[in-house]
């Protein structure tokens, strides 16, 4: 009898991965609908929500695989395609749709292009150089960070002025908010292809569970309330970018001190 391709322990986390892929696809389709719909902001907000939902599902698949002892090479390979779709292409399409309506056409093409290219390089290097699939931390900023940055700022910019956090100041058609958006993308996609090391937050339940709760609130709350959640998640993301490398460095120093005496005893 032919052996099953995936046993039930491997199938369950794979379903989470496939759900994340569908969220990435829906994010792109919502943007397309926004091009033709009467209320494009509504569809762009939905697109941003799908990126964040994909992020949680992408984190859950690995945790579920570890809990069930159902890790597989197939699941690891599938995860790469999900990352590229949901956190590389989907944010790039969203950028193209909402941030460049009054900008030069060259920039409208260039910014989404460099987002995709940086993501491709980051994922390819990750696959080749990290056989542990990030379990020991990441070399380079995870692709999900820039995706979240794009999704959160786009969402805030698409909330109606009457329901926005600070009226109409959050516009991606110029001004300080648009500049913040652009600078953040440039910094994040540069860090993606750097050698700066970052921890893997989804391994720690104390960090991952609050993120799950916040994303669920972001997805299900009304526009104005969800915008406040988006600001909170943006703050958490910036703390991760700024403090993550310091945390990894501290862990490495602690490990070196702990192993130092043992190494000397062996000599």
Residue 267 lies in a domain: no
Q: 6-35: per-residue pLDDT in tens?
A: 787 888 888 999 999 999 999 999 999 998
Residue 149 has pLDDT above 60, yes or no: yes
CB of 93 closer than 8 Å to CB of 28: yes
Question: How far, in whole angstroms, is CA 220 from its chain's centroid?
Answer: 19
Supply the pLDDT for residue 114. Answer: 94
Give the pLDDT of residue 105. Answer: 66
User: Looking at residue 198, what DSSP letter applies?
Assistant: E
Please state, in angstroms and rounded to a whole number, the distance separating the CA atoms of residues 203 and 137: 10
Does residue 188 fall inside a structural domain?
Answer: yes
pLDDT given for residue 251 in this prediction: 76
User: Distance of CA 186 to CAs 129, 179, 180, 189, 248, Å?
Assistant: 24, 11, 10, 5, 23
What's residue 206's pLDDT?
A: 76
Query: How remote is the C-alpha of 242 from its chain's centroid?
Result: 16
Task: Give the residue-averaged pLDDT of 240-246.
Answer: 90
Q: Could you tell me the pLDDT band of residue 94, with boundaries at 50, 70 and 90?
A: very high
Q: Which long-range contacts (CB under 8 A, 24 or more apart) does 108-117 make?
A: 111/182, 111/185, 114/189, 115/88, 115/91, 115/146, 115/150, 115/185, 115/189, 116/88, 116/89, 116/92
Look-up of token digits 């890790």: 71
198 forms beta bridges with: 138
pLDDT score, position 266: 45
Which pLDDT score, from 0 to 100, does residue 25 have? 97
Is residue 264 situated within a structural domain?
no
Q: Nearest CA to 49 among 238, 239, 233?
A: 233
Query: What band does 125 get if pLDDT is binned at 50, 70 and 90?
Result: confident
According to the per-residue pLDDT averaged within each range, which of 5-9, 58-62, 147-151 is highest? Answer: 147-151
Using 50, 70 and 90 to split pLDDT, how confident is the model at 5? Answer: low
pLDDT value of position 166: 52
**Contact partners, residue 177, CB within 8 Å, separation at least 6:** 153, 157, 169, 170, 171
Q: What percent of the chain has a predicted confidence (pLDDT) above 90?
A: 43
Q: 1 in a domain, yes or no?
A: no
Domain span at residue 181 reads 8-259
Nearest to 181 by CA among 61, 82, 100: 100
Q: Is the pLDDT of residue 2 over 50?
A: no
User: Based on the number of CB atoms within 10 Å of its own CB, is 153 exposed (0-12), middle (13-18) or buried (19 or more)?
Assistant: buried
Residue 221 pLDDT class (50, 70, 90 cuts): very high
What is the rounded distance in angstroms from the CA atom of residue 188 to the CA atom of residue 97? 20
Instruction: Give me the number of domains the chain comprises.
Output: 1
CB 74 within 8 A of CB 12: no
Q: Judge whether 74 lies within some domain.
A: yes
Is position 18 within any domain? Answer: yes
* Mean per-residue pLDDT of the chain: 84
Does the residue 136 lie in any domain? Answer: yes
Q: Encoding tokens for residue 215?
A: 């994303």
The highest-confidence range among 61-70, 122-131, 158-167, by mean pLDDT, is 61-70
Q: What mean pLDDT comes out for the span 48-74?
A: 88
In a domain, 67, yes or no: yes
- Per-residue pLDDT at 107: 72
Q: pLDDT at residue 100 above 70? A: no
Using the predicted structure, report yes or no on whether residue 264 has a pLDDT greater than 60.
Answer: no
Alpha carbons 251 and 42: distance in angstroms, whole number? 44
């Amino acid at each position: 009898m032919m052996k099953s391709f995936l046993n039930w322990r491997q199938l369950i986390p794979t379903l989470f991965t496939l759900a994340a892929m569908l969220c990435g696809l829906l994010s792109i389709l919502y943007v397309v609908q926004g091009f033709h719909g009467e209320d494009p902001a509504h569809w762009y907000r939905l697109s941003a929500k799908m990126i964040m939902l994909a992020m949680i599902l992408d984190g859950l698949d690995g945790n579920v695989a570890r809990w069930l002892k159902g890790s597989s090479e197939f699941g690891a390979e599938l995860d790469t395609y999900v990352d590229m779709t949901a956190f590389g292409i989907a944010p790039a399409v969203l950028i193209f749709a909402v941030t460049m309506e009054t900008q030069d056409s060259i920039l409208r093409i260039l910014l989404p292009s460099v987002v995709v290219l940086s993501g491709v390089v980051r994922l390819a290097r990750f696959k080749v150089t990290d056989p542990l699939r990030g379990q020991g931390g990441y070399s380079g900023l995870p692709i999900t960070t820039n995706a979240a940055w794009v999704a959160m700022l786009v969402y805030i910019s698409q909330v109606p002025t009457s329901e926005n956090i600070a009226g109409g100041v959050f516009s991606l058609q110029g001004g300080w908010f648009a500049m913040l958006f652009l600078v953040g993308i440039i910094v994040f996609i540069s860090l993606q292809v750097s050698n700066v090391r970052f921890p893997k937050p989804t391994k720690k339940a104390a960090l991952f569970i609050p993120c799950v709760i916040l994303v669920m609130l972001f997805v299900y709350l009304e526009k104005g309330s969800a915008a406040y959640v988006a600001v909170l998640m943006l703050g958490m993301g910036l703390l991760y970018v700024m403090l993550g490398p310091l945390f990894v460095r501290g862990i490495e120093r602690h490990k070196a001190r702990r192993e130092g005496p043992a190494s000397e005893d062996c000599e």
